[in-house]
Structure formats: structure tokens, C-alpha cells
A and B are shown apart, each in its own frame.
Chain A
Amino acid sequence: MSLHQWSFTSTAPPEFIGLENYIYLFGWEPFYTSLKATALFATTTLVQLIIALTAALLVNSISRFKNLISSSFLIPYTLPPVATGTIWLYLINPNVGPIFKFLTNKNILDSPIYWSVQSDTALMAVIGITSWTFWPFMFLILLASLESIPEEYYESARMYGAGIVDRFLHITLPHLKTAILLAVSIRMVWNLTKVSQIYQLTGGGPGYSTSILAVFLYRFAYDQGQFGLAFAVGVVLLIITLAFTLLFIRGFEKSRSDNE
């Protein structure tokens, strides 16, 4: 079943019907807006990595409440993305949402920010909410990897007088390297192909400013029924994600040869 998707896409070969679509696409302003949004949106992976690494190191270093804390960290990830999207639509609603009410009550802001009508605030909201929702996946991978480091490594390092920074740089980080590579590459692909939350939060707008390539594709296909153009966008997206897939496979092979 999983193999069929390759042939699905090739049933409508873009080379034949598509060349005109590419010419159109590459000469069209919104396509570059979308590419820029994709590049900026990709920083969500970095944000997720930083949060996940910090959280994994913290949780790994405690013994009390460990399960409770890591389980509560997971909850945003387990909810349907449309559900977390709905929660945030309420929280940052400029009229009834508590966040802007709080900020204006405390005089931090003069008036609520109508974030969804400005490109930069809309993009920031989308990046923030995506990071908030999906970081626990990396947290799980990194925590599992941290837990597999034998305690003796740290004990002997301590005996030789290695400080906490030394221990982190020379034991923890090298051990985590493959896990980080795997987590970043798989998360990068999954982040860049997310549609539902962004589409729900901003509809890809204002204009095309939050239409990352996947949303761009979805808008062509679903809203406008322009399948040819949607395919052309899809091929560009595929090429980008393929690079990260290759990175993932390299990391996977490395982890296998390390284990043997």
C-alpha cells in the first residue's frame, strides 16, 4: 500500500501537462511569497528542537514527578491539530480572548493586536502555535535517547573532575547526535507538510503571506480546483522534503551501524 503513492503521482506526469504551470509559477509573485513563508516557517523546527532539548535534559535530570511532568508536556501533541488550533483561536482572539485582554488591562499594550490581518504577526502566530503543538515529538525522541546513556559514563567523568558543562559536551551531546539528526529531519518534513492548523488559523493569508508551500498547494487544489498548478507546487515541495528524507536515512544508517 505504502508503495502506491509513487505511482499515484506519476499517473499525472507534470512533465507533460505541467511545463506551462512551472513557467507560470516561477513568474508569479505569490509563489515567491510562499517560498519565503516556507523558509521562515522552517524555523519552527529549530524552536521545537530548543524547547525539546531543554525539556528532555530537565526531565531526565529529575527523579520526582518525572512521569507526571513528561505526560503533561505531551498533551498538546496528542490533541488533534485542529483542536489546538481552536484553543489558540480563542486565546489570541483580539476581541474576547484572554491574552490580549490581560495585556491591555495591565497596560502592556494599548489595544489588542489584530494579528491575522498583518503578514508578520500572522506568520509569527502560525510559527508559535505550530511550535507549541508539535515540539513534544522531538522531546520523546530525545528523552528516550538520554535515558539510554549508561549512568557509569557520568560517574567516571565525575571522578575525573569533569564539570557539568564538560559532561554535557563530551558525553550527552555526542550521544544525542544521531537522535537529534533523526528528530530534526523527520520533524522538518512533517512541519513543512502541515496544512490543517495554518489553514484553520489564517487560511494562508493575509494574501499569501502564511501560505507555506503545502498550504499553497491545498489552496490551489481545494479552493480553486487548479490541479495542474497544485501539482507543480507539490513537485517543488517534494524536492525540498526529499533532501531531508535523505538526511534522515543517513542518520538511520548511522544509528544502525553504531548499534552493531
Chain B
Amino acid sequence: MSITNKIQKVSNSSALFEFVKWALIACMMAIFALPMMFAFFAAFRPPNEFYASTVRIIPEEPTLSTWVDAFVSLQDQLVNSFIIATGTTIMSMVIVIPAAYVFARKQFPGKITLFYLIIAAMMFPYVLLIIPIASIWDGLGLYNSIVGLWIGYQIFVTPFAIWILRDYFAKLPTNLEESAQMYGCTQASAFLRVVLPLSAPAVVAVGFLSFLTAWNDFLMSNMLTTGVGPRPAVVQLYIITTGEVKHWGLVMAMTFIIGFPPTVLYLLGRRQLSQSFSVG
């Protein structure tokens, strides 16, 4: 085969390759975006349109009243969710930042073992913990309280957060603190003034992660709250869907109202979070 032939063949096959590639991407987009779009537009549908026999993506008579109704009926639970998630985030930052820094920078006996225990905790089946936590929290008077949920979520949040932040701290050059200390900083102020501002993106991303973990959780909040306690929005949605649903448009609007905050936070913090796993 002559060289020109070979080049011709390559460019032909690469044009075909381009086509197949974009066709596949379009397919995947359809599989993942179409259901989402359909559900989203359903939130604008008045009740009677759900019984029409034809399938349309765009509602015939779009209405905003579903969104208003959904928001009004979820108000209290959304406030609960917000308080629960914000408190969880603040508490986890206080625990995670120093822990991750110590793991990244300091040598101490049992460090490796302790670190593997954190990995094990990250992969521990949390569903096993709901019984002991429920009974211990009940004994401590934390059952059905917001503080109880704040503390409970630390078990979910801290291992993964330490894992991500430790990685970020470890990648910063060590001479940062050394030179800061030469200019008269103490070790603590070197950390606060130099390391922490430099790691702001990672710290913010981990904070987002804590927030959305607490916001999204069903397992623990369902176990630790009752109707008279601080019930979060996700649990309320679950209760609505396991009963008889009369107006799916309203439920879809609720779904997207609850889903909006974590999605925005995740997309904002995404780059930092995925970097800790870029291995090999």
C-alpha cells in the first residue's frame, strides 16, 4: 500500500469515527437528558393533562401554580433541610480541615493504620449503623433533634472529606509553611494564612459535598426524625410518593425544588472533588 493510500484510508476512517462518536454522544444525552426533561416539563402540567392518551413533552396549557403549591407545601421541610445541611457543613469543616492537614503533613505513630481505618469507614455500610445510632441518640436525648442529625451526618461526611482534603494538602509544596515560618509565622498561623487560603477551592468543594450529603440523605433522617420533629424535605417527598399520588405535576415540581440546591453545588465543586481520584 502506498503512503497516499494509507493517508486516504486514515482520514476516511477518522471521518466515520467522528460521526459514530457524535452519534453515540447524542444517544447517551438522549438517555440521560430526555427523562429529566420530560419530568421537568411535567411539573408545569395541570392535573387533567396527565390522563391524556397522547404523549407530549411540552404541556398544552403550562401552569406555574404547581410550583407555587409545591413550594408552599414544602416550606417548613425545606427550612429544616437547610438548617440541617448548613450545620452539618460547619461542624464537618471544624473536624475535617485539621484532621486532613495532620494526615497530609505530620508523622505520628499509627498514622497508616488510622488512615486505612478512615478508608474502611468511608466504605462501611452505613445502613448497619442506623440501629445503634437510633438507640444511642434516644438515650442521649438527641433523637428527633437537629443537633442529633448534625452529629449523625459526621459519620457519613468526614471520612470522604478527609480523604479528598488530605490529597489536596499533600500536593501543596512543603516549603510554603517553612518559608512562612521564616518570616515569623507560627506553625498555626502559617497554616491559617498560607495553606488555608491556597486550598480554598478544595475546602469549598468539600463543604459543598457535606452540604449536599446532608441535604440528599434519606437513610438517617428517616430513622432519626418523626412527623413532629425536624423532618427534612427528602423524607417528606418519600412519604408523598409511597402514598397514593393524586397530582404528579405537583410532585415533579417538589422533586425539582428539592433537587436544585445540591445540583448547583455539585456542579460548582466538581473539579476539585474528582481530582483526588485521578490516579494511575
Show the binding face of A for B, using Cβ within 8 Å.
1-6, 8-9, 11-12, 51, 54-55, 58-59, 61-62, 69, 71-83, 85-91, 93, 96, 98, 101-102, 105, 132, 140-141, 143-145, 147-148, 164, 175-179, 182-183, 186, 189-190, 192-193, 195-196, 200, 203, 214, 217-218, 221-222, 227, 230-231, 234, 237-238, 241, 244-245, 248-249, 252, 255, 258-259
Contact = CB atoms under 8 A, between A and B. Distances in A.
A248 B266 contact: no
Given A96-B51, A105-B53, A200-B238, A76 B36 contact: yes
Interface stretch (B141-149, B176-184, B190-198, B272-280): B272-280
Contacts, number: 232
A230 B252 CA distance: 34
13 contacts: A2-B118, A2-B162, A5-B155, A71-B267, A74-B266, A96-B248, A164-B17, A203-B242, A214-B125, A214-B127, A222-B130, A230-B131, A238-B128
Interface residues of B, number: 81
Contact of B117 (A2, A87, A231): A2
B125 A234 contact: yes
Contact of A252 (B36, B119, B222, B259): B119
A248 B136 CA distance: 31
The interface residues of chain B, by DSSP majority, are classed as helix
A227 B138 CA distance: 15
A2 B121 contact: yes
A86 B251 contact: yes
A76 B124 CA distance: 24
Contact of A8 (B132, B212, B218, B267): B132
Interface string B101-123: 00000000000001011111111
B97 interface: no
A55 B24 CA distance: 9
A248 B155 contact: no
Nearest to A216: B127
A27 B186 CA distance: 64
Among B24, B128, B136, B263, find the residue whose CB has the most chain A CB atoms closer than 10 A.
Answer: B128
Interface of B: 17, 21-22, 24-25, 28-29, 31-33, 35-36, 38-39, 42, 50-51, 53-55, 95, 114, 116-133, 136, 154-155, 158-159, 162, 212, 215-219, 222-223, 234, 237-238, 241-242, 245, 248, 251-252, 254-256, 258-259, 262-263, 265-267, 270, 273-275, 277-280
A82 B17 CA distance: 39
Contact of B128 (A54, A148, A182, A217): A217
Contacts of A195: 127, 218-219
